[in-house]
Structure 1
Amino acid sequence: MLNGRDPRIDFFRGLALIFIFWDHVPHNPLGQITLRNFGFSDAAEVFVFLAGYAAVLAYGKILRRDGYWLASLKILRRAWVLYVVHIFLLAMLMGIVFFANSHVETRDLVEEMGLTHFVTHPQQALTDELLLRFKPNLMDPLPLYIVLLAGLPLVLPLLLRNTWAVVSVSLAVYLLAPHLGWNLRAIADGVWYFNPVTWQLLFVLGGAAAIHSSQPHPAQTPGRLRQPLFVAAALYLLLAGLLTLSWRWPEFHDALMPAALGDLLYPISKTDLSPVRLLHFLALAYVTAKLLPHDRWAHHWLAQQCCRMGRYSLEVFCLGVLLAPLADMLNALAGDALAMQLFSALSGVLIMALLAAWLDYNKCLDETLRTRAAHLTNS
């Protein structure tokens, strides 16, 4: 059975939302401590992997309990909700960016946010928006999630029945896509910045991890076969971190990086989820799962706030997208003063946490009212 809730899933999803917000605010000093500064992968990989994990965990349980068609109906209904949210979020984002741009004289925020297409071709932009081809900056993760979730009914039964076969097919598609040019159309660069044909592998791997974690496993002591894998993963994370830090000093990096290795390593594509990015995230996930226990730490107050944000990831993500250009505007008006940059970054996270707390309060209130209504009905 697919049941139970690992607090690490909500915690790291909430942490990824914070990192995404900080990464989306230009010149934000707290953006220097996010995941992308210490390795090849970043919060996007965390978000997509955990989206696959949570989706398979939830809808796999529904499929086994209520059957395939009801599970598929719920998945597609959720995908439709995400699509509608995407349309409204984009409209709100454009309004905020145009407002911010009218107050910032030193920069063109409309161009920086990729909204020029709407200014020059508004009618075509509206059509492209409905077809998920018009995706300004900050908006890429949500259309990716919509497409991946909409395709879940095609693979969920097979994933539950023969996990490794689905992972193998997904891996083959991932390897073929960059060479065959498989991607979806979009304006600007012509293709999706997050290629769904390659990023689907991470979504599938998240689902496979959910299935694996839900199955009973006999108690095992650390064996010799597991130790080399952990050491190899940790060493890869260390080397990737050192290499990423060396990018801050190009002369130092160029002096130490062999030309042959550089030609093999670069460019590290985020669009097609470069293998070194994928391996870095998998190594990070494996090491974290081995080092971090399931509970104890989750009772800490700060961890609980982060977990709550992770439980309401859609609402918190949308709010973060809208807060990022406002924080950028405040920073620009203050001349990018350090105090304002820190204030806007921390205030944004506080507002996101307050939204999650308010949503959680309303959910608990609704459950209490339903319980009382059921008690009165029975009595």
Structure 2
Amino acid sequence: MGTSTPQAAVPHRRDHRVDALRGVALLMMCIDHIPQDVLNRFTMRNVGFADAAEVFVLLAGYASWLAYGRGFARKPVPTVLARIGRRCWQLYVFQIVMVVVCVATIRIWRNFWPVPVDFLEPELAHGLDSVWRVLSLVALPGNLNILPLYIVLLLGFAPLYVLLRRVGTAVVLGLSGLVWLVVNINPRLNFPNWLDPDGWFFDPLAWQFLFVLGVCAARVAGQHDGSLPRSRLLAWGCAMYLVFSGVQSFPWTQWGFHDLRPVVMAVPDKMILSPWRLVDVLAVFYLVQSSHGATRLANTRGGQLMALFGRHSLEIFTMGTIIDLYGRLVLTSFGTGWMMQVAVNVVGFVVLLAVARMKERARVAARTPPQPKPDDLHAAAPLCRN
């Protein structure tokens, strides 16, 4: 009687496209928040309607399904809800840390060097008596407004999951898209912001559509081995739209060229996530997440470096925001010459890389089973003797 030989398990290779794309977006956000940085001439916002913020929120929805949506099917509901609650609390703590660091830095810095008025916004320009408004997310200072959006969207993930299971993807997308459309028609529908009469800079009622699209994209990709189904016609359509978006958005005059924009139009509204911006980020995401070439690119050394940043997005974003503040202060106080440009960017990148590597070592250590101590092996040895 013959015995069957079990087949070796095929090792699963992690798809790094999402992590790498998120890492690129995080670096671009860091660069974009330093207006004097010459590198922000080369970021995504100069070659398209959307920028890194749209990528960040879309991938937040995608990652939320991977982290929590699949968890509801495998673990008790209270366990997954507790994980979501811990993540929201973590986001809030990091938000408060950024506020405290910004306020303390500006108050100390202006004792030695002048600080422009726009830097006073984290202090609300009204002293510390109103800091409680920031702590309660009633007031959102500039450059410190995306984590509160993420908290709101993540708090709505469990109801979103229930709706997806009860009524299906098409109905959920339709309802979410309808809310987004209403906000685009009436931009006054927004959460209140004590610092801005127009409300939150990222209107949650509009941006929730991008988050939901990310969640649904993760569900579809999960049914197709981690990739979105490839359509040559759709890919060509996305590519053509991105060409138009790039030509329309490129800062021709800033580079000393003639204005070659084919259409005269206002800058698409970011607060309400205008259709131009929405289609732009969806086109980028589809081309990346449906492409095997993007998979190979993500597995290169450069792609792995970006994925390293993307795997630890909260820590990288937080440290990047603090680096932004110091970069702006340094360039404002000491000039924007090439030496200062190089110093700010090199130091910033090295700090971010150190944070990412530290977090990666901790992640690997947490997943590595503890090795038995020599004393334990000696103690167990007599049990193996005849």
Q: TM-score by structure 1 length?
A: 0.87
Query: What pairs up with 1:103-122 in 2 under 5 angstroms?
Result: 103-105=112-114, 107-108=115-116, 111-112=118-119, 114-115=121-122, 117=124, 119-122=125-128
Q: For 1:266, what is the secondary structure of its paired residue?
A: coil
Give me the whole-angstrom Cα distance separating, in 2, the residues matched to 1:325 and 1:9: 27
Give me the whole-angstrom Cα distance separating, in 1, the residues matched to 2:49 and 2:214: 19
Query: Could you say which residue in structure 2 is the equivalent of 1:208?
Result: 216
Give me the whole-angstrom Cα distance separating, in 1, the residues matched to 2:94 and 2:225: 39
Report the AA paired with residue 148 of structure 1: L
Aligned residues of 2:163 and 2:172 also touching (Cα < 8 A): yes
Aligned residues of 1:174 and 1:198 also touching (Cα < 8 A): yes
Report the AA paired with residue 170 of structure 1: S
Q: Which of residues 68, 72, 76 is equivalent to 2:77?
A: 68
Report the AA paired with residue 184 of structure 2: P
Query: Could you say which residue in structure 2 is the equivalent of 1:6?
Result: 15
Query: Could you say which residue in structure 1 is the equivalent of 2:363?
Result: 363
Once the two structures are superposed, residues 318-349 of structure 1 have per-residue CA deviations (whole angstroms, 9 ceiling, x without a partner) of: 00111111112222343211221132123212
Query: What pairs up with 1:316-355 in 2 under 5 angstroms?
Result: 316-355=316-355
Q: For 1:188, what is the secondary structure of its paired residue?
A: coil
Identity %: 30
| 1:367–1:128 distance in 2 versus 1, CA, 3 Å | same
Q: Which of residues 92, 97, 112 is equivalent to 1:83?
A: 92
Give me the whole-angstrom Cα distance separating, in 1, the residues matched to 2:24 and 2:227: 30
Give me the whole-angstrom Cα distance separating, in 2, the residues matched to 1:361 and 1:147: 30
Aligned residues of 1:28 and 1:342 also touching (Cα < 8 A): no
What residue ranges of structure 1 are gaps of 5+ in the alignment?
none
Report the AA paired with residue 197 of structure 1: L
Q: Which of residues 53, 61, 64 is equivalent to 1:52?
A: 61
1:42 to partner: Cα distance: 0.2
Aligned residues of 1:79 and 1:149 also touching (Cα < 8 A): yes
Give me the whole-angstrom Cα distance separating, in 1, the residues matched to 2:86 and 2:64: 13
Give me the whole-angstrom Cα distance separating, in 2, the residues matched to 1:219 and 1:143: 30
Aligned residues of 1:246 and 1:252 also touching (Cα < 8 A): no
1:146 to partner: Cα distance: 0.8
Q: Which of residues 155, 170, 173 is equivalent to 2:176?
A: 170
Give me the whole-angstrom Cα distance separating, in 1, the residues matched to 2:369 and 2:232: 51
Report the AA paired with residue 283 of structure 1: A
Q: For 2:189, what is the secondary structure of its paired residue?
A: coil
1:4 to partner: Cα distance: 8.0
Query: What pairs up with 1:1-379 in 2 under 5 angstroms?
Result: 5-105=14-114, 107-108=115-116, 111-112=118-119, 114-115=121-122, 117=124, 119-123=125-129, 125-160=130-165, 162-180=168-186, 181-190=188-197, 191-216=199-224, 226-246=231-251, 248=253, 252-253=258-259, 262=264, 265-293=265-293, 295-368=295-368, 370=370, 372=372
| 1:16–1:217 distance in 2 versus 1, CA, 3 Å | closer
Greater share of helix = 1
| 1:131–1:233 distance in 2 versus 1, CA, 3 Å | same
Give me the whole-angstrom Cα distance separating, in 1, the residues matched to 2:74 and 2:26: 31
Once the two structures are superposed, residues 264-290 of structure 1 have per-residue CA deviations (whole angstroms, 9 ceiling, x without a partner) of: x42511000011000111112222334
Give me the whole-angstrom Cα distance separating, in 1, the residues matched to 2:172 and 2:376: 49
| 1:34–1:157 distance in 2 versus 1, CA, 3 Å | same
Question: How many residue pairs get matched?
Answer: 363
| 1:359–1:114 distance in 2 versus 1, CA, 3 Å | same
Give me the whole-angstrom Cα distance separating, in 2, the residues matched to 1:134 and 1:251: 41
Once the two structures are superposed, residues 191-224 of structure 1 have per-residue CA deviations (whole angstroms, 9 ceiling, x without a partner) of: 00000110001101111111111114699997xx
Root-mean-square deviation (Å)? 2.9
Aligned residues of 1:68 and 1:157 also touching (Cα < 8 A): no
Give me the whole-angstrom Cα distance separating, in 1, the residues matched to 2:283 and 2:304: 25
Q: For 1:317, what is the secondary structure of its paired residue?
A: helix
Aligned residues of 2:202 and 2:270 also touching (Cα < 8 A): yes
1:291 to partner: Cα distance: 4.2
Q: TM-score by structure 2 length?
A: 0.85
What residue ranges of structure 2 are gaps of 5+ in the alignment?
1-11, 381-386
1:77 to partner: Cα distance: 2.1
Q: For 1:115, what is the secondary structure of its paired residue?
A: helix
| 1:299–1:329 distance in 2 versus 1, CA, 3 Å | same
